[in-house]
Chains A and B, each alone.
Chain A
Amino acid sequence: NAGVTQTPKFQVLKTGQSMTLQCAQDMNHEYMSWYRQDPGMGLRLIHYSVGAGITDQGEVPNGYNVSRSTTEDFPLRLLSAAPSQTSVYFCASSYSPGGRGMITQYFGPGTRLTVL
């Protein structure tokens, strides 16, 4: 099992450029999420998905799009990059029995994005 993989590891963009951060998991997890990590602010949820074809917004969705055409893949698209999107991006997948069940989130290694 590779777990959760993310590409690229590092990326530098110019303001206004678009790009897609890739995320894949091989654990057949229903749930997948994208977070951004900024100093002193912890992890903030951008978008999440509860299954193929189903996505929803998290805490900080503006400027980002997602889709979930397969269980395995959950790409994050930056539509028009801005310096405020400079951050480290983490993808995570999880399985939860629902209700008040225990959640174990498995995180990818992260993508460090700089927008100039």
Chain B
Amino acid sequence: GEDVEQSLFLSVREGDSSVINCTYTDSSSTYLYWYKQEPGAGLQLLTYIFSNMDMKQDQRLTVLLNKKDKHLSLRIADTQTGDSAIYFCAESPWFSGGYNKLIFGAGTRLAVHP
């Protein structure tokens, strides 16, 4: 079945690195995504990784993918208070019905403290 799991809460000190972890179940997912939700707002695509990659770096963000273990992680370097938000992992299982839906995890609330 389709399932995406993430821990619900992470607290880090400002300036430290944050690592948010996610496990997914569907090996047919071609892309895996990280979305960010700031308070009172909708989700915004933060970054994504193609399934044939192990790592993707985008400024302070590093995405690591372990396909064998179906494990995805998001590392935020030099975490700032503005990074406080809920981070959602999502997979896109292969679906031949014409609509490739996204399956979201429950979200990890990142709290950054001084």
Contacts and interface: CB of A to CB of B under 8 A. Distances in A.
B99 A100 contact: no
Interface residues of B, number: 26
A41 interface: yes
Interface stretch (B37-45, B59-67, B68-76, B77-85): B37-45
- Most chain A Cβ neighbours within 10 Å, of B8, B50, B92: B92
A6 B106 CA distance: 22
B69 to A, nearest CB: 21
Given A48-B99, A96-B100, A107-B44, A41 B94 contact: no
A62 B23 CA distance: 28
27 contacts: A33-B101, A42-B4, A42-B105, A42-B106, A43-B104, A48-B99, A48-B101, A56-B97, A56-B99, A58-B101, A90-B42, A92-B42, A96-B100, A98-B98, A98-B100, A100-B31, A100-B94, A101-B30, A103-B92, A103-B102, A104-B45, A105-B102, A107-B42, A107-B44, A108-B42, A109-B40, A110-B42
Interface of A: 4, 31, 33, 35, 40-43, 45, 48, 50, 56, 58, 90, 92, 96, 98-105, 107-110
